[in-house]
Each structure stands twice: as C-alpha cells, then as structure tokens.
Amino acid sequence: MKDRNQELTPMLAQYHYFKNEYSDCLLFFRLGDFYELFYEDAVVGSKELNLVLTSRPAGKGRERIPMCGVPYHSADNYIKRLVQRGFKIAICEQVEDASQAKSIVKREVVRVITPGTYFEKDTAGFACIYRKGKFYYLAYLNLSIGDFVGARVKTEELLDFLSKFNIKELLIKEGEEPPSAVIKTLSVFITKLDDEFFEEGVELLRKAFDIHSARALGFDEEEFLIPLGAAYRYAKLTQKGFTPFIKKPKPFQDEGFVRIDLKVRRGLELLESIEGRKDHSLFGVLDMTLTGMGRRRLKFHILNPFRNVDRISKVQEAVEELVQNREKRCRLREILSGMADLERLVSRISANMATPRDILHLKNTLYKVEDLREEIGSLGSGLFKDMVVNLESLKSIADEIDRVLVDEPPIHVKEGGLIKAGVDGFLDELRFVRDNTRKLLKEYEKKLRKETGISSLKVGYNKVMGYYIEVTKPNLKYVPEHFRRRQTLTNAERFITEELSRLEEKILSAQSRINDIEYELFVQLREKINGELEKVGRNAQIVGEIDYIQALAEVADKKGWVKPEVNDEFCIEIEEGKHPVIEAFTRSYVPNDTFINEESFIHLITGPNMAGKSSYIRQVALIVLLAHMGSFVPAKRAKIGSVDAIYTRIGSGDILALGVSTFMNEMLDVASMLLNATDRSLIILDEIGRGTSTYDGIAITKALTEFISRRIGARTLLATHFLELTELEGKVRGVKNYHMAVSEEGSGVVFLYTLLPGKAEGSFGIEVARMAGLPEELINRAKEILLSFEDKSLPLLEETFKRSEKSITEAELDAIIEDVLSIDVANTTPLQALLKLAELKEKIIRVREGR
C-alpha cells in the first residue's frame, strides 16, 4: 500500500510524525519565526486565541489544510492562555540551523507544557495521587520553586489536603477516577498515566535521589514512592531534560500545625472573600510582604498556623522586636523590596531557562542577602540569631556574575552584548575588529603604501568582491608578487592578499563569532551558578521567613494590634477584639470582649438579623488563628489557650458544585467535625439547622450543643436565631448565653454591635426587612401573621421542647453507656448480641417516654 505521507510535503510528513507522538497535545511546530498549528489544532488555536485561520497546500493533489500561527518571540502569552484553559502543548523546535540543513530542517519536541508543569509565569504545581485501601498516597511538586512533598491522607480528607496547595493538574492511574469533589472544587486538569509509568517512575526516583527505600527520605511506607516517582517522571518527561531544580522529596509535616480545612478557609475568607476579592480577605489585610518568597510563606501560615506554643512565642518575639524597632524594620523593608524571587530564579536557572536579566537579578539579590545578614545580625531575637547562622553568604557567586556579566544585559542570550570586557582575550580582540573596521583597513592601507611606495593605493570594499586593493595603471609596476589580481578596470586593477583575506574573514564573521563566544561564556557562568543552587534555595527560605515576620510587624504597628499571650491553658480571653478584615473597611467597628473558660466554653449568641453575630464569631476565630501564626491581634489584650484545630460551619463556605443540598452539606460538615474535634479545638457554628424545618433545626442544634458539651468539650461559639436554645444555659455544662445588643428607637431598631450576656429579646426580622425597603403593605401583613403565630404556634413549640426535655438526662445516658461498655464483645454470640440490642432499645424507649 502506498504510504499516504509520501504524498505530503516533506515538512508536513515530519509534522505528522510528531503529532502522532504527541496526539494529546496541541503541536506548536516551529517554522522560521513562527510556531504554526495545523489541522484540528489550528481550528482550536484560532478559536481560543482569536487568530486568523488560513490554509496551506498539503502536497500534490491534496486539499489545502487549515493553519494558524503565532510569532515565536511572543509565544509565551499565547501558551499561557491555552494552558490556563487546560490544553497541553508540545513545542516542536528546529534543532539545526535552517541554512545548514541538507534537506528538511531537523526538528524535535523540546518541551511539553501542561497546566501543572508550566512555571514561567505562574506559581503552579501538580499532584499525583495513588489510592490504596482507605488512604491516598500523594505527591505534590511545584516546578517553579522546586518544592516536592509526599503525604498520606484518608480518602475523605483528600480534598482538604489538596486545597492547601495551588494545584493546576492532577495525575492519576489509568482506570481510576479521582473523587468528583476534587475536580469540581479545585477545577484541576486530570492526566491519566498507565501502570508502567508509575513503576518506572519509582525506579527513576530511586536513582535520582540515590535511595533504596522510602525510609531514606523519611517516609514510613514504600507506597509513598509510587506517586512521588510518577510525579518526578512526569516532570522529567514534560521538561525534556531541562528539568528545573527539584528538592529532595520530604514528608509533609502536618502535625506541627493547627488544622485548617477547606471549609474554614472559605468560611473565614482566609485567602479571598466569598466574592473572590483578595483585598477583603485575611491575606489581603496581612499582605505587607515584599517578596514572592514572603508572600508564599504568609499564605502557607494562614492555612497552617503553628500548633506549638514555644514555636509561636519565638515568632512573636521576632515580630515584637521589629514592631518596636521601626528603624530596623524600615531598613529591612528597603532591602527586601528590591529582591527577586530566589526560589523561582533557582528553577529557571536549573532548567537552563534563565535569561541574562534573571542572572543579573540573582546577582543583585545575592548582594542584598549580604545586607540582610548584616541587619539581622544586629537583632536580638532567637529566631533572627538562628537565621544569621543559616543564611549562607553567596557573595562569591554574586562577584563572579559581576565579573562576567554586563550591568545592563539584553533579554536574549544569543544576541551578544552580555559579557564584560576583559573576561576573554579572544572576545575582546573580535570586538575590537568589529568596532574598528575602518581604522584597521586604513592602517593596512597605510602599511601597504609604505611597503610598495604607491601613495595612491587604496583599500576598498564592494558587495560583489568584498575587500580589495586598488592600484592605478601607472603604478602597476610597483605591485609586489604576493598581490593576486582580482579585477581589471579601465584605469586601475584590483588585488587581494592573504593578509587582507584573513582580515576580511575576521571582520565579516566577527559579530556572529562574538555572539557564539558570549553565549558560551554565559552558559559557563550559568553552570557555575548551578552548582550552588541548593544554597540559594535554602537562603530563599530564610528570606521568605524574614519577609513574613517583617510583614506581621508592619501590620501590627500600622494597625495598633497587640501581642497576644498564647499558652496551653483552656481559656480564650479577648478584650476589645475586632474583626481584622471588617475593621479595615468599616470606619467605626465596635469592639467586643470574649471570655471563654472551663465553666463557660459554649457561647450561644442570639440577636436579630444584621446585629453582628456572624462577624463576632468569625472575629474570635480569626484572632485565635492570628495568634497561632505568631502575629499580633486586633484587640486591647488577648490571652489565647492554644487550639489543635479550628472548625467552622458557616453557610457561605458551602461547595455548592458538589450537588448536595445546603442542609445535607451542613450535616456532612457537622458529622466530620464531631468525628475529629477534640477538647483543644475551636468550633464556630453559624446558624446551624436553618436549612430544615424549624422543629428539626432546633432539635438538632440542641442535641449538637449537648453533644459538644458532654462528649467533646471543645470551645464553641454558636450564633443562632433559635431563642429556644438559650434554655440550655444552666442545664448543660459550659453553655452561656450572649446576645448582640440593639436599641429600639421610635419605630425602628438601631444596631449597637455590642455583645452582652443573656439572651436576645425577639428577632426583629420584619424590622430588617423594612429597613431593606420591602413595601409597607407587605411589612404590615407580615406583622399580622407574626402576631397570629405568637398566639398559636408558640405553645406548640414549647410543647415540643417540653417533650424533648423529657428525653434523656445525663445520668440516664451514662447508665446506658455503662451498659454498652460492659458488653464483652469477644465472647458474645450473634444471637446474644441481637438480644442485647433489643434490650438496649427497649431501655431507651422507656427512658424517653418517662416510664
């Protein structure tokens, strides 16, 4: 059979070869100064990038094929747009000089760009997951900063865990499906890889990091190597040998941090507000960092606050020192503000993607590291002292860059103008030739005139002949033998000499040779730097930490926040606390106090709509979180007993895409909270139970409050409209009522935003509706209906609760628990178990009915 490709033009035949190999990618095929897309790729590309779709002949007797293209020097922006939309791109480059090519120019795919591995413009990363039993083993790899971690999480915790990272792509085994919540919530691009890929990945990883077992990396099971290996192999495969610096994989340390899950992150608007605004989030308020390294660290600690009290006080001490020493802080800010992102530079340099300007930034930043060391060295806090020891001097690299690279290098590496004079003798010579052509020729002319005695001898140039020596006819008799005749004119003859040929060659090739030599010297410099990248990476971490601390100090000083006392007690005492974000955007935020202790640790906060309940409970959670970050807090005084986790159930944190109703969502959250919370946790509940009937809602919230009090003992703030709950004060251990005060003035209600002990009087819902501008007629009718409810329905409600009061007392419940605990499960037959179950059920029914 005739090969169809033979009928294609040779170039398109080559295209087909690569497109077959990279069928899941859009193939960017380099043709001169353009990357061209053909066939379907061209149709997709033109649509996504708004490019003109043209066509070209495909070969003899064939129809024209669609095509579109982008200029290579501006391809980055197009690539970025496509990658952000989830496309994979294979870059197929010309790998030989087109002018040297004997037939069709040689091409190769030099990189595959996927959403998770594209790191030029974004800090993106990808994860690889491997499921075994109840667990997921996972690897996270960020190519822009080289971070590489492994972890093991329970199936149901996968989403929370992944959401800690900025993941654009998820690798998974062929045949397995990732949890739909992960895809919907994180909107990641899924890449499936076969078993073999995973197996070979492990081998590659072992070799790359020279390890025999996962233990060598600090992991306790070999399974960790499976996703780590696949992630590593994927990085290698997509970067085609130009893999950026990847740090040794290490276990993700979760234990040292307060647990903050995805719901808390959304509910408390930690990184962005519900409307997606960064400036209206905790991060927005705290972000006084000046470097990418500091910004990343800030985000990390917002999601991973410190758990350990000693660690917190170390950070606090450093922050406090910078709050007090404003001059020093200003100096640090001055140094930091001009620093490049060392972590990203490390990646670009190790992937051989660094431009001369990147190297220049590295030099300047390394000199600034020296300045930082000096400044930090004069500070007294323990943390700063540790930093000085760990911050390595890389001045020798900076000096080497300074010796070799010019002070204002061009963007591109191959255009020359990179290397300083004096670095390389031959380069200097070539430059002299290039810059002094006229002078050299004049000198040569002078020399020949002297040698031959022909004073009219001229050295000239034309495009056809190149350089020549011209002698007028009368002087031809003086021409020496080594002059070779080139051309005869009417009045003169033109010659060439060996020496002039050499000079010509030197002059004509000078620029391209200069460029080659400069490139070579630049590559050598890059290689020298490569050898020190680990040190640069370590320094980057410390710079990030300094930036983090100065940012907290800057915020604290600018906003007049105070240092909280953080200890291992149970209490939370906040005097005149404020919501850190609302405070920043409200002119007169009313501060409130919080006093939680062993006697009063479940606070029920009632009050009308709009009275400030939600803001208050979030404020407490945020102050506790800030305190664990080592930050100062918006309050007059604060004493925070440390927490192991913050849990929130706040409606706005719902992940609606999951296809579960609001109420079901709420119950799922509560269930997982009850499973994980301990007596060291902080629980924030906002209007639990409002997504179902009032009776069910009240019943569930009451039962939940009892459960938290009896079984968990966690510090809890619960905002509710169910005034019926306030009956629990005095009956259930730890429960205390508070309300947000309002005053009724004339016909309206005025919100005071002050938290007072005791329960609220009424809910004023209709009043709020009136303030929102609902028609007067509707408001009056609502008042009538409300009055009729108050006549009839309340007794009904009270009745319900009288009945529910009759339910189980603490003593009765303890008796039942004792009964269950006394069962010797190992020695119970199935029949005995069933009988026991029936007996227990009967007992519970009797207790509930008061029999």
Ligand X SMILES: Nc1ncnc2c1ncn2[C@@H]1O[C@H](COP(=O)(O)OP(=O)(O)OP(=O)(O)O)[C@@H](O)[C@H]1O
C-alpha triplet 461, 466, 467: angle, nearest 5°: 55
Give the binding range for ligand X (CB under 6 A) out of 74-82, 512-520, 606-614, 700-708: 606-614
Give the binding range for ligand X (CB under 6 A) out of 135-143, 256-264, 607-615, 782-790: 607-615
Query: 479 or 782: whose CB is closer to ligand X?
Result: 782
Query: 263 or 348: whose CB is closer to ligand X?
Result: 263
Q: Which two tokens stand for residue 590?
A: 């009313």
Quickly list DSSP for 460-514: EEETTTEEEEEEEGGGGGG--TTPEEEEE-SSEEEEE-HHHHHHHHHHHHHHHHH
Q: How far is the CB of 530 from ligand X (least distance, A)?
A: 53
Query: 5 or 609: whose CB is closer to ligand X?
Result: 609
Known binding residue 608? Answer is yes
Query: What residues from 710 to 769 belong to the interface with ligand X (CB under 6 A)?
Result: 719, 753
CA atoms within a 13 Å half-sphere pointing along the CA-CB vector of 15: 21
Query: 306 or 561: whose CB is closer to ligand X?
Result: 561
Query: 211 or 769: whose CB is closer to ligand X?
Result: 769
Q: What whole-number distance in Å separates Cα of residue 450 and Cα of residue 461? A: 21
Q: How far is the CB of 726 from ligand X (least distance, A)?
A: 16
Provide the β-strand partners of residue 25: none
User: Is residue 609 within the footprint of ligand X (CB under 6 A)?
Assistant: yes
Give the binding range for ligand X (CB under 6 A) out of 149-157, 171-179, 610-618, 704-712: 610-618
Known binding residue 416? Answer is no
Q: How far is the CB of 635 from ligand X (least distance, A)?
A: 13
Known binding residue 69? Answer is no
Q: How far is the CB of 586 from ligand X (least distance, A)?
A: 5
The binder of ligand X chosen from 611, 623, 698, 749 (CB under 6 A): 611
Q: How far is the CB of 48 from ligand X (least distance, A)?
A: 40
User: Is residue 291 within the footprint of ligand X (CB under 6 A)?
Assistant: no
Q: Which two tokens stand for residue 578?
A: 């404020």
Q: How far is the CB of 607 from ligand X (least distance, A)?
A: 6
Known binding residue 771? Answer is no
Q: How far is the CB of 618 from ligand X (least distance, A)?
A: 8
User: Is residue 613 within the footprint of ligand X (CB under 6 A)?
Assistant: yes
Query: 138 or 749: whose CB is closer to ligand X?
Result: 749
- Positive or negative CA dihedral for 94, 97, 99, 103? negative
Query: 136 or 722: whose CB is closer to ligand X?
Result: 722
User: Is residue 648 within the footprint of ligand X (CB under 6 A)?
Assistant: no
The binder of ligand X chosen from 267, 356, 564, 607 (CB under 6 A): 607
What HEC string does 35-53 produce? EEEEHHHHHHHHHHHCCCC
Query: 87 or 753: whose CB is closer to ligand X?
Result: 753
Tell me, residue by residue from 477 to 496, as one string, x for binding to ligand X by CB under 6 A and - for no binding. Answer: --------------------
Q: How far is the CB of 628 from ligand X (least distance, A)?
A: 23
Known binding residue 746? Answer is no
Provide the β-strand partners of residue 715: 682
> Residue 835: CB partners within 8 Å, gap ≥ 6?
none
Q: Is residue 219 a contact partner of residue 118, using CB atoms and an 8 Å limit?
A: no
Q: Which two tokens stand for residue 738?
A: 């508070």
Q: Which two tokens stand for residue 375?
A: 């400044």
> Residue 219: CB partners within 8 Å, gap ≥ 6?
150, 225, 251
Q: What whole-number distance in Å separates Cα of residue 607 and Cα of residue 590? A: 16
> Of 622, 566, 569, which is closest to residue 596 (Cα–Cα)?
569
Q: Is residue 577 a contact partner of residue 564, using CB atoms and an 8 Å limit?
A: no
DSSP 636: S
Known binding residue 607? Answer is yes
Tell me, residue by residue from 504 to 533, as one string, x for binding to ligand X by CB under 6 A and - for no binding. Answer: ------------------------------
What is the separation of C-alpha 452 from the centre of its chain, rounded to a whole number of angstroms? 75
Q: Is residue 537 a contact partner of residue 320, using CB atoms and an 8 Å limit?
A: no
Query: 239 or 754: whose CB is closer to ligand X?
Result: 754
Provide the β-strand partners of residue 91: 28, 111
Q: How far is the CB of 178 from ligand X (least distance, A)?
A: 35
Q: What whole-number distance in Å separates Cα of residue 224 and Cα of residue 252? A: 11
Tell me, residue by residue from 25 to 44, as one string, x for binding to ligand X by CB under 6 A and - for no binding. Answer: --------------------
Q: How far is the CB of 609 from ligand X (least distance, A)?
A: 3
> Residue 419: CB partners within 8 Å, gap ≥ 6?
404, 405, 406, 427, 517, 518, 521, 522
Q: How far is the CB of 619 from ligand X (least distance, A)?
A: 8
Classify residue 101 as exposed, middle or buried by CB count within 10 Å of its CB (0-12, 13-18, 19+). Answer: exposed
Q: How far is the CB of 681 from ligand X (least distance, A)?
A: 22
Give the binding range for ligand X (CB under 6 A) out of 47-55, 101-109, 612-620, 625-633: 612-620
User: Residue number with the shortest CB distance to ligand X?
Assistant: 612
The binder of ligand X chosen from 281, 304, 615, 648 (CB under 6 A): 615
Classify residue 775 as exposed, middle or buried by CB count within 10 Å of its CB (0-12, 13-18, 19+). Answer: exposed
Query: 730 or 758: whose CB is closer to ligand X?
Result: 758
Query: 14 or 737: whose CB is closer to ligand X?
Result: 737
Q: What whole-number distance in Å separates Cα of residue 110 and Cα of residue 24? A: 16
> Of 40, 18, 48, which is closest to residue 30 (Cα–Cα)?
18
Q: Is residue 630 a contact partner of residue 312, using CB atoms and an 8 Å limit?
A: yes
Query: How far apart, in Å, are the Cα atoms of 589 and each of 582, 595, 612, 614?
Result: 8, 19, 10, 14
Place of tokens 């917002």: 302
Q: How far is the CB of 757 from ligand X (least distance, A)?
A: 17
The binder of ligand X chosen from 25, 58, 225, 610 (CB under 6 A): 610
> Residue 473: CB partners within 8 Å, gap ≥ 6?
491, 492, 493
Q: How far is the CB of 719 from ligand X (least distance, A)?
A: 6
Q: For residue 810, count other CB atoms closer than 10 A to its CB.
A: 13
The binder of ligand X chosen from 612, 641, 697, 734 (CB under 6 A): 612
Query: 163 or 619: whose CB is closer to ligand X?
Result: 619
User: Is residue 771 within the footprint of ligand X (CB under 6 A)?
Assistant: no
Total residues binding ligand X (CB under 6 A): 14
> Residue 263: CB partners within 8 Å, gap ≥ 6?
647, 648, 649, 650, 653, 669
Q: How far is the CB of 627 from ligand X (least distance, A)?
A: 19
Tell me, residue by residue from 55 to 84, as one string, x for binding to ligand X by CB under 6 A and - for no binding. Answer: ------------------------------
Query: 145 or 719: whose CB is closer to ligand X?
Result: 719
Known binding residue 60? Answer is no
Known binding residue 612? Answer is yes
Query: 524 or 586: whose CB is closer to ligand X?
Result: 586
C-alpha triplet 800, 801, 804: angle, nearest 5°: 95
CA atoms within a 13 Å half-sphere pointing along the CA-CB vector of 534: 3
Query: What residues from 544 to 603 belong to the interface with ligand X (CB under 6 A)?
Result: 582, 586, 589-590
The binder of ligand X chosen from 117, 606, 614, 726 (CB under 6 A): 614
Q: Is residue 556 a contact partner of residue 630, using CB atoms and an 8 Å limit?
A: no
Query: 243 or 615: whose CB is closer to ligand X?
Result: 615
Greatest Cα-to-Cα distance within the chain, rounded to the nearest angstrom: 142
Query: What residues from 296 to 355 belong to the interface with ligand X (CB under 6 A)?
Result: none
> Of 330, 246, 342, 327, which is closest to residue 294 (Cα–Cα)?
342
**Which segments are annotated as binding site for ATP?**
607-614
- Which residues of this chain interact with ligand X, rule CB under 6 A? 582, 586, 589-590, 607, 609-615, 719, 753
- Residue numbering of the annotated binding site: 607-614
